[in-house]
Structure 1
């Protein structure tokens, strides 16, 4: 089912995700425009990864609607949802999730092969070239640095030309210098190629590369700001921690009371 808001890359309306009596998301509204870079931040347990997984079709919300590129995910069969994720959505994890026995080129080609396509050598090398690794096509993951492995994971996510690239702490396992290299690359994908990126991160430095920072607390959007410096992002997250800690304590107390 196509949406009238086809210009939106991602659109969430009243999205709630519950696990038993606990709400990981409490009715979130979020719109992401094409060709933008959005960072999602919040304290531990705020619902960041849950939001990302619902938006990317990796998890189904308990209620509410999710659209990607004008297509409603709500109500899709598992098969149609799998096809949409394969063709329209890219996802990069903190752990690179590369197959160790395969070369960089073979890892990048994997999504197309799983879809029944036989990717050309030119197509695969072009995807590696987008992340600066055309000369590492025949190297296996153990022969690559952490930053290079994450760039292979990026090339793998990008080879299907997804409408949206989602990242769950994509620089979380990298050192500072390597993290910066990957973040610069993500920024260039947005600025030069118009790629839409939505990234969960706990790092104010990483979030500062984004056009916009969405702050979650206790499953709700607490703020949605643009043009933030590293210092302002860090100040916001520091201020959010005490209230988030109180909210998490209250949730634990309710869960313990319910189990008695």
Structure 2
């Protein structure tokens, strides 16, 4: 038997023996910016897996590593060390062309800025990733996705003819149209009013319940995070805490303690939480 210490694993969702690979897995991921004395570790040894059909919110104070986490997990940036796998594919083994194909075909993105092309209709914006991938759009699938987001009567409208909430629904439909292994959402309700934000979050929640979609959402908003099944908290680039079946008050309370975590030494080098392997 090797004397090498076992690295704790933090798993979000239902991990079963013999089950397929998680939708996303990060193992000992570090991301360092700068050199020498100016080095900053935006991520410091994050090990975490997201199982299929899970909805997870990632939270933390400014500078905690949330954006870097999303960029590395989604293949938008390469970690300094450690590994990231999406749908069982180790991203480090892919060249730039293969990585681009994986992002187009297996990863969906929804951002605070809707990123719609103003000259295209709703339907054309939704099918754009398929066209980039050289794939023919399944008209039935596209119609189904447009109906799911409640925009059937807006399919031929252009973005300037839509409300902010409707534009975000287009962005969600565009992400879902490719049947992604995982959908990453970065502050998806940051530009929306409270009621519209709740509608958009309910739509994401429904895609998990009915389609088994995997969603990883970065947010600073406890209300938004309460729509998720799990909340993972980051502080100083490390996993600081986790909350299952979250409610708003509990999320806000955990957030107030992250500053203390960031200053405290980690026993054994990494935190371990009940129920996370």
Q: TM-score, normalised by structure 1?
A: 0.89
DSSP-derived class of the 2:215 partner: strand
Counterparts of 1:40-189 in structure 2, within 5 Å, are 40-189=58-207
The alignment covers a number of residue pairs equal to 243
Question: Does residue 18 of the first structure (1) align with residue 12 of the second (2)?
Answer: no
Question: Does residue 195 of the first structure (1) align with residue 195 of the second (2)?
Answer: no
Take 1:92 and 1:64, find their aligned partners in 2: how far apart are those partners? 25
Quote how far apart the aligned CAs of 1:130 are.
2.0
Gaps of 5+ in 2: 1-17, 265-277
Aligned to 2:20: 6
Deviations 1:200-253 (A, max 9, x none): 000000101111100000100001221221001011112324666x79xxxxxx
Take 1:191 and 1:17, find their aligned partners in 2: how far apart are those partners? 33
CA contact (8 A) 1:91 1:166 kept: yes
Question: Does residue 217 of the first structure (1) align with residue 231 of the second (2)?
Answer: no
Take 2:125 and 2:62, find their aligned partners in 1: how far apart are those partners? 32
CA contact (8 A) 1:34 1:195 kept: yes
Take 1:5 and 1:28, find their aligned partners in 2: how far apart are those partners? 22
Aligned to 1:251: none
Quote how far apart the aligned CAs of 1:120 are.
4.7
Q: 1:233 to 1:60 in 2, by over 3 A?
A: same
Gaps of 5+ in 1: 248-260
Quote how far apart the aligned CAs of 1:5 are.
7.1
CA contact (8 A) 1:5 1:70 kept: no
DSSP-derived class of the 2:257 partner: helix
Give the stretch that moved more between structures: 212-221 or 122-131: 122-131
Q: TM-score, normalised by structure 2?
A: 0.84
Coordinate RMSD, CA, aligned: 1.6
Counterparts of 1:228-239 in structure 2, within 5 Å, are 228-239=246-257
Deviations 1:79-111 (A, max 9, x none): 110111111100111100000111111100111
